[in-house]
Structure 1
Amino acid sequence: MAEAVSCPVPPEQRPLEEFQQLSTSWFFSWPVGDEPFLAKSLAISWIMVLPVCLLVASGSWALKQDPPRLVVAGAVSALVLPLFLLMRQWLGWTYVMKRLLSESVDYEESGWYDGQTWEKPLSWREQDLLVARHEVRPILGRLGRAMATAAALMLGGASLCQAL
């Protein structure tokens, strides 16, 4: 039987609860499932910002005279939004990973001025470690691969724009 542990940490500040909140949120749940859903969400964000980037790129005299370079420059600059979205997700999931792996929990009882630290009991640490290793680590892996792909696309597109 599991031992009952009195925990002073407010429920919404507990690492497992923070993990659940990220897992079920609209934005942070993109990398939770399979990679095609993450890729689809990022592609939609890229397509949504592409017309704006093409419009801005068309303001360049040099690009206006060279339509292939205009399209490539717009497409490459539109990759900035998906890359920023990936970085924001990376920061959120990394924060939760650190909280899960920590042996203690920093929390606020009622505001910013009363920070406390609570040492996790062994049973909580074991459970948090399992979630960190088997749930959060694969998510961070997907995000890392997606960021590497976006960066490679940006570099490849920039070199293509130079070659044209």
Structure 2
Amino acid sequence: MAATIPCPVPPDQRPQEEFTQLSQSWFFAWPRHRQIDLDKALLLSWLLIAPLTVLIASGSWSLRHDSIRLVLAGAVSGLVLPMLLLVRQWLGWSYVHKRLLSERVEYEESGWYDGQVWEKPLSWRERDLLLAQHEVRPILGRLGRAMATTTGLILGGASICQALSFR
């Protein structure tokens, strides 16, 4: 009978606990279940910032007298906020994904100066691998699709705005 190996890693630094903390976070839970939930949150963030970016764009002398380009430039620049939110979520989820896939857990007992490394037992590695593959990888896929869509919208909107300036 195999004895259970005591884990020296503080509970809040264990990869599974970090996954749980992200999953329960209001912000990081956006991409957790469905693409439409993430898209709604990003659309809401864009709708909240767009009036401000249009107002800022109205300070441009060349856009002030071209309302179509003004609104388009403001709308495109408003996409920067959703992109920043996506990048922050990507960083958080990819960090947890990396920790789940790792065979070792790096942790700190009491501060930055006493970093330790603990080798995960096989049962932990199997459980973490399943969690990474079936929970975190789909989240990263949803975030990747949302970042690609947002990048496409930014580039497309900027191209249209540029084309309108030559008419």
Tell me, yes or no, whether TM beats 0.5: yes
Measured against aligned partners, the alpha-carbon deviations of 1:82-126 in whole angstroms (never above 9, x if no partner) come to 000000000000000000000000000011111000000000000
Which of structure 1's runs of 4+ aligned residues deviate more than 4 A? none
1:62 has 2:46 as partner: no
Matched position secondary structure for 2:27 = coil
Query: 2:127 and 2:73 mapped to 1: Cα distance?
Result: 48
Residue of structure 2 equivalent to 1:113: 113
Counterparts of 1:24-63 in structure 2, within 5 Å, are 24-63=24-63
1:75 aligns to 2:49 (yes or no): no
Aligned residues: CA RMSD? 1.1
Whole-Å separation in 1 of the counterparts to 2:2 and 2:127: 12
CA deviation after TM superposition for structure 1 residue 4, in Å: 2.1
**Which blocks of at least 5 consecutive residues in structure 2 are unaligned?**
none
Separation (CA, whole Å) in 2 of partners of 1:52 and 1:5? 55
TM-score (norm 1): 0.98
What residue identity is the alignment partner of 2:156?
Answer: G
The aligned residue for residue 158 of structure 1 is: 158
Secondary structure, in 3 states, of the residue corresponding to 2:8? coil
Matched residue, 1:19: 19
Structure 1 position 162, deviation (Å): 1.2
User: Quick one: distance in 1 between partners of 2:16 and 2:82?
Assistant: 28
Are 1:92 and 2:114 counterparts? Answer: no
| Distance across 1 between alignment mates of 2:78 and 2:53 | 6
Q: Counterparts of 1:116-135 in structure 2 under 5 Å? A: 116-135=116-135
Distance apart, 1:5 and its partner CA: 2.2
Alpha-carbon shift at residue 77 of structure 1 (Å): 0.1
Cα deviations by residue, 1:107-161 (Å, 9 ceiling, x for unpaired): 0001111100000000000000000000000000000000000000001100110
Q: 1:2 to 1:162 in 2, by over 3 A?
A: farther
CA shift for structure 1 position 2: 7.9
Q: Which consecutive unaligned segments of at least 5 residues does structure 1 have?
A: none
